[in-house]
Amino acid sequence: MNLFRSEEHVARWLEANGYEAGASLTAERMCDLAYAWWSDRLAPDWRPHTLEQHQAILTDSAPTGDFWRLE
């Protein structure tokens, strides 16, 4: 994981290092995704999420694209 200040910063870093852009999220979306994924873990009746539940979290919280598909 790399953190950047802006899209321009990402573009400069990619060019300088010879990489192509991959999946990316803003810090706000990453926090939303982390909360949705982990927020219920301390509940006394917690059970692991199903694949379908995890996919729903990604669909609601992350951009579209193959990177975000679990199946």
The pLDDT value given to residue 8: 95
CA distance to 6, 36, 53, 60, 66, per residue, from 3 (Å): 9, 21, 27, 22, 21
- Kindly state the average pLDDT of the residues 38-65: 91
CA dist., res. 59 & res. 32, Å (int): 12
pTM of the full predicted structure? 0.76
Give the pLDDT band of residue 52 (cuts 50, 70, 90).
Answer: very high
Range of the domain at 55: 25-71
CA distance to 5, 36, 45, 51, per residue, from 56 (Å): 29, 10, 20, 9
Count of domains forming the chain:
1
Q: Is residue 6 part of a domain?
A: no
Q: Is residue 18 part of a domain?
A: no
